[in-house]
Amino acid sequence: MFDVVVSGAGPAGSKCAEIIAKSGYKVALIERDTNWRKPCGGIVSSRIFKYYPQLRKANFQQIFSISMYSPDFYNFRYTWKNLLDPAINVDRLEFDDTIRNVAIDSGAELFDNHISFDFITKDNQNIGIKTRTPSGIKEYLGKIIIIADGMSSKLAIKSGLREKWKTKEIYTCKCAIMEGKNLLDKESNYFFFRPYKGYGWIIPLNDNKFNIGAGLAKEANVSFNVNEIYSEFLHDPNIKKFLPSLNYKEIWKAAYPLPALGVKEKCLFGDNIMIIGDAAGFVSPISGEGIHASIVSGNIAAETAIMALDNEKISRETLRRYKSHPYIKKIIRNFKLKIAIANFFFENKGRNLSKMFQLAEKEENFRDELVNMFLFNQAPSKDFLLKLK
């Protein structure tokens, strides 16, 4: 019996478990496989240091600039060295392990190799979860259940709070970690927008290692195949300018889906359940970056759970605070705006992006808003939107 059962030990689940455990409550942190690397670009903005100050001293690649290319290969580059803290590029296997250990050190009890597949119910109330393990079915009881096991979560569907994702609601991406000599600026991230609704990236991890990938957004999933798009991106002559070698060592490769339409705000909480992270859609509709937003969702859900436990009042009404928190409302609002902007990006086969980049080079205020939108998920101003028109 636990006070809180958290299913999923990624960034959202680990932060949630950490905060609750620090408050003195008993937390079960359920994870399907701590040796699994989530397919992801691995870009983490400097805002991470607010939640994990220890990462300032970690050995992750520091990033001080961003280079973005429109479909016609118009380049916009922005550098913030000596102005702002660096972003960091991470291997998700190492990063997730680092923040998971923070939760464990805070008192959360980790149960690895457990696949959450159903709820334990009593008197029409979900009172715990069932997991499959190498040694059989296990059951974990909890006063509050936190669903943090990704967008493919079985629990999110079985809770009745969220439906299955539709094809037009997701990004489909494929990426790899490769090693070899290259012509990348190791302190810069590279994004390449495509003429269809999709983009590619190259993310340096150190001098010789990099993360490379490509993805499709929403309706483009119907018209294109992600494997073909990924192969085309790797062999694009413009990409070869950065990666001239004919043979790179492929360390790892995988494909994955991501939510593409922002937060599923109607699914965030129930009588004694909260859904956080990717499982609830905390992923930017423009960049696909979700680590920071997921950590925020885990933090706020933890604070909500602690308040409910402290007051011994666990109900739909007491957990509503999670959804109504100003930080969550801000993320929801920003992501809604970005859906419309993302659609604008890809109109006219992406030529709108070239115009945006050219305008950003001429006008400092417009440039700053464009960068903040990509790097920090900030919502653009009315003036920014008017200039787009």
**Residue 340, SS3?**
helix
Residue 253 lies in a domain: no
Phi, psi of 336 (to 5 degrees): -60, -45
- Structural domain includes residue 362: no
Any domain includes 32:
yes
Position 51 pLDDT exceeds 80:
yes
The DSSP secondary structure of 101-164, one letter per residue, reads HHHHHTT-EEE-S-EEEEEEEETTEEEEEEEEETTEEEEEEEEEEEE-S-TT-HHHHHTTS-PP
Rounded Cα distance, 80 and 78, in Å:
7
Domain assignment of residue 126, given as a range: 2-50+91-164+263-337
d(CA 171, CA 129) in angstroms, rounded, equals: 29
Determine, yes or no, domain membership for 170. Answer: no
3-state secondary structure of 328: helix
- Rounded CA-CA distance 66/189 in Å is 5
Query: What is the pLDDT of the chain when averaged over all its residues?
Result: 92
Q: What is the pLDDT of residues 222-269, one digit of tens each?
A: 888 999 999 999 999 999 999 999 899 999 999 999 998 899 999 999
Burial class (CB in 10 A: 0-12, 13-18, 19+), 185: middle
Q: Which helix (H) or strand (E) holds 255?
A: strand 249-259
Residues of the chain with pLDDT > 70: what percent? 99
Query: Which amino acid does the sequence have at 48?
Result: I
CATH code for the domain in which residue 298 is found: 3.50.50.60
Selected residue with higher pLDDT from 227 and 197: 227
**Residue of higher predicted confidence among 348 and 169:** 169
pLDDT in tens, 105-157: 999 999 999 999 999 999 989 999 999 999 999 999 999 999 999 999 999 99
pLDDT score, position 377: 66
Average pLDDT value for residue range 170-181: 94
Q: What DSSP character marks residue 42?
A: -
Neighbours of 205 (CB within 10 A): 20
The DSSP code for 3 is: E
What confidence tier does 339 reach under pLDDT thresholds 50, 70, 90? confident
Task: Specify whether the CB–CB gap between 247 and 320 falls below 8 A.
Answer: no
What confidence tens digit (pLDDT) does each residue in 275-306 have?
999 999 999 887 788 999 999 999 999 999 99
Average pLDDT over residues 354-365: 88
Q: Is residue 283 one of the residues assigned to a domain?
A: yes
Which residues sit opposite 139 in a β-bridge? 130
pLDDT tops 90 at residue 79: yes
pLDDT of residue 230: 95
> Are β-strands 61-63 and 65-69 bridged in parallel, bridged antiparallel, or unpaired?
unpaired
Total of domains in the chain = 1
The DSSP annotation for 190-253 comes to EEEE-SSSEEEEEEESSSSEEEEEEEEETTHHHHS-HHHHHHHHHT-HHHHTT---S--EEEEE
d(CA 5, CA 297): 16
- pLDDT at position 389 is 67
Domain assignment present for 69: no
Short-list 63, 342, 357, CA closest to 211:
63
DSSP-derived 3-state class of residue 384: helix
Is the pLDDT confidence value at 388 over 80? no
Return the number of other C-beta atoms located less than 10 Å from residue 315's C-beta: 11
277 domain-assigned: yes
Residue 383 has pLDDT above 90, yes or no: no
C-alpha distance from residue 249 to each of 61, 90, 96, 177, 180 (Å): 19, 18, 24, 9, 6
Kindly report, residue by residue over 57-67, the tens digit of the pLDDT: 899 999 999 99
Using 50, 70 and 90 to split pLDDT, how confident is the model at 338? confident
So what's the pLDDT on residue 385?
72
Confirm whether 228 is domain-assigned.
no
198, pLDDT greater than 90 = no
